[in-house]
Structure 1
């Protein structure tokens, strides 16, 4: 029984709240985009992967934030929808005409939203 209690204690210490999990996923996407931007010449082949991951993250965020049963206020739902639309537009623009500078806005959005989710506004 002691082993089970210890295992539970260790697991409960590493379990993330939904907000922390969302923040961690946003940071992961930002780090991936930043790596491509920092090594533009060498990592341009990974641009599609980084943008694809970020697009998946934002598809989930925008969808869940704007669902009818979302606990967010209507104002926040609208803001998330607008932010998601910007992210999708910038992603498509970057895929069509790749440029390292176009990644900056995506990286900053992810980092700022992650900081907000963590309470570090």
Structure 2
């Protein structure tokens, strides 16, 4: 996932970063966009659409990595994260019309960030 995240979101720092650092920063960037979209109100559809598109992209990259043969996470954790990815992708699509769903997406991403931060 780390290499795909780096390609999708660009190198945020030029220093040496762990895969967890890269994933954390990708989630932080996307979550910040979701928060800004939530704060801008329900009538700012273009901002919300952009933030939700970036969230779908991130979760799609994550799901692709999780489904790959080279992923070394435990099968149970992989399955749980794949289910979460499917949920996040679907909710991101639904949130275009229903901005109240942004709060749940922000919470999911924030919890992922907590997990990534705790494992450093």
Q: Which has the higher helix share?
A: 1
Larger radius of gyration, structure 1 or 2? 1
Report the TM-score when normalising by structure 1.
Answer: 0.80
In the alignment, the residues of structure 2 paired with residue 89 and residue 99 of structure 1 have an alpha-carbon distance, to the nearest angstrom, of 12
Would the alpha carbon gap of residues 92 and 41 (structure 1) be closer, same or farther in structure 2, given more than 3 Å must change? closer
Please list the CA deviations of residues 1-52 of structure 1 after superposition, one character each: whole Å capped at 9, or x if unmatched.
Answer: xxxxxxxxxx5xx322110110110011111000010111563321111111
Structure with bigger RCO (C-alpha 8 Å, 6+ apart): 1
Q: In structure 1, what is the Cα distance between the partners aligned to 2:40 and 2:48?
A: 11
Q: Compute the displacement of 1:89 (Å).
A: 1.2
TM-score by length of 2: 0.80
Query: What SS does the corresponding residue of 2:103 show, helix, strand or coil?
Result: helix
Structure 2 unaligned residues grouped into runs of 5+: 1-13
Q: Does 1:28 align with 2:29?
A: yes
Q: CA RMSD in A?
A: 1.6
How many residues are matched?
Answer: 106
